[in-house]
Amino acid sequence: MPQGMLLVISGPSGVGKTTITHHVERDLNGVFSVSVTTRSKTPADTEGRDYFFVSPRKFEQMRDGGELLEWAEVYEGLCYGTPLAPVQQAIEAGRLMILEIDVEGAVQIKKKMPEAFSLFVLPPNEKVLLERLRKRAREDEALIQRRFAKAKAEIIRAWECGIYDEFVVNRDLDHAVKEAVALVRSEMFLRGG
Ligand code: 5GP
């Protein structure tokens, strides 16, 4: 049975990483890792598909019980983590397992599993990033500015931490999707998958 591959995709909010992730998943027959989170469910979320929504107490139990491969407090007071068991199962079954997680989580993954392949999705420039955050328009300006500052800090952290194998610039979504799929496919090919 061939060994599977662990793929980490990160990028700031508003950069199109979820769309890219889902295309990679579909085109390369990957498995999307459903994270647990303590944030509240929104109408756009489906329990068990986008996230497993859990209480802070349950999250702590899972974390302390060794059920999470990595975890991070992504927003103040809101924790996100990757359940370990599905990752182990997918890798053992020779599948491509895809984690869409933040930089702190990706750093933990690379420490534990250096063979993981990691992509970071970048906006073409700051102006476009701010426009995309505004277009989402579900938040007030102060919150948009906070997200913008966080996104810029996350990009700098991604460059500095040195754990990302590739950076994909999303100038045009179709092009970025094709590039991400080609990079992951090439890596699988090189590893003999
Ligand atoms: P959102 O709440 O907008 O869906 O996601 C917020 C952020 O949390 C995104 O940047 C996403 O990549 C990150 N995230 C989602 N799941 C996990 C996880 O399991 N672990 C870590 N470290 N970050 C996650």
The CATH code for residues 5-190 is 3.40.50.300
CA of 101 to the centre of ligand 1 (A): 5
193 — pLDDT class (breaks 50, 70, 90): low
Encoded amino acid at 159, one letter: W
Q: How far apart are CA 67 and CA 60, in angstroms?
A: 10
Please report the pLDDT score of residue 138 as a whole number: 67
At 58-76, the pLDDT tens digits run 999 999 999 999 999 998 8
Q: How far is CA 28 from CA 22, 46, 169, 173, in A?
A: 10, 23, 20, 18
pTM (2 d.p.): 0.95
Question: Best mutation site among 6, 32, 74 for ligand 1, i.e. most ligand atoms within 8 A of its Cβ?
Answer: 74
Residue of 88, 43, 82, 85 lying closest to 59 (CA atoms): 82
